[in-house]
Amino acid sequence: AQKVTQAQTEISVVEKEDVTLDCVYETRDTTYYLFWYKQPPSGELVFLIRRNSFDEQNEISGRYSWNFQKSTSSFNFTITASQVVDSAVYFCALSGFLLTFGGGTRLMVKP
Amino acid sequence: EAQVTQNPRYLITVTGKKLTVTCSQNMNHEYMSWYRQDPGLGLRQIYYSMNVEVTDKGDVPEGYKVSRKEKRNFPLILESPSPNQTSLYFCASSPVPGLAGGAETQYFGPGTRLLVL
């Protein structure tokens, strides 16, 4: 069975601080995909990134970066110079065939 | 505009009164799915459908039914809702997982917030 653990249920930072959201996963599949979604206070789910299990290159998109380490089964997400608009719940998810979500991390960025 | 729509967005009902939440997508996706979101539990899959007339149970199917008579629509049916089905529900769609080398990105509807009294 697949499992995704986001140990940080809630994080609070002050604007402009860097913050890392942790994601640890378990799977027996050799081929799988990892995702991050953002859920702002308005409630919709916004796709951020998808990464396959064969691509361990880190990725950067503006202030967002992702660190995939297969050796530790982790796919961590860092926001650099956080802004109030980054306040949201962030979900990590794992897909071999079905999509399994972690419990989410609520990020609060204070001005 | 490519999108997944759900109706209604908010619903308050009473125990035992049958209800249907509709889901429709305009991206010609084969795969559709329903999730429920509860605090601390993330999203859990209720049912999914690989194509028309093909549906299967997810992790938490008890108390729910689905049907897939058309490619674009995937309604969620609660025959006899109970208070423990109070939740935020999301519909999602994507091309079929497993093709082109792996899982496809799922696109989510705006959510339906259900309260069962």
**pLDDT single digits (tens) A57-84:** 888 889 999 999 999 999 999 999 999 9
Q: Which of A7-11, A29-33, B95-99 has the highest mean pLDDT?
A: A7-11
pLDDT of B101 over the 60 cut: no
| A10 within 8 A of A22, measured Cβ to Cβ | no
Nearest residue in B to A38, CA atom: B108
How sure is the predictor about B103, in pLDDT bands with cuts at 50, 70 and 90? low
Residues B45, B48: Cα–Cα separation, whole Å:
8
When the pLDDT of each residue in chain A is averaged and rounded to a whole number, the result is: 92
Q: What is the pLDDT of residue B22?
A: 98
pLDDT in tens, A20-51: 999 999 998 888 889 999 999 999 999 999 88
Q: Do B45 and A4 touch (CB under 8 A)?
A: no
A9 close to B (CB below 8 A) = yes
How sure is the predictor about B98, in pLDDT bands with cuts at 50, 70 and 90? low
Nearest residue in B to A94, CA atom: B103
Across the range A5-32, mean pLDDT stands at 94
| B69 within 8 A of B99, measured Cβ to Cβ | no
CB contacts of A91 in chain B (<8 Å) are 42-43
B48 close to A (CB below 8 A) = yes
B/e letters for A72-97, b = 16+ CB within 10 Å, e = fewer, are: ebbbbbbbeebeeebbbbbbbbbbbe
Residue position matching structure tokens 């080398």? B101
Under DSSP, the state recorded for A9 is S
Q: What single letter denotes the amino acid at residue B53?
A: E
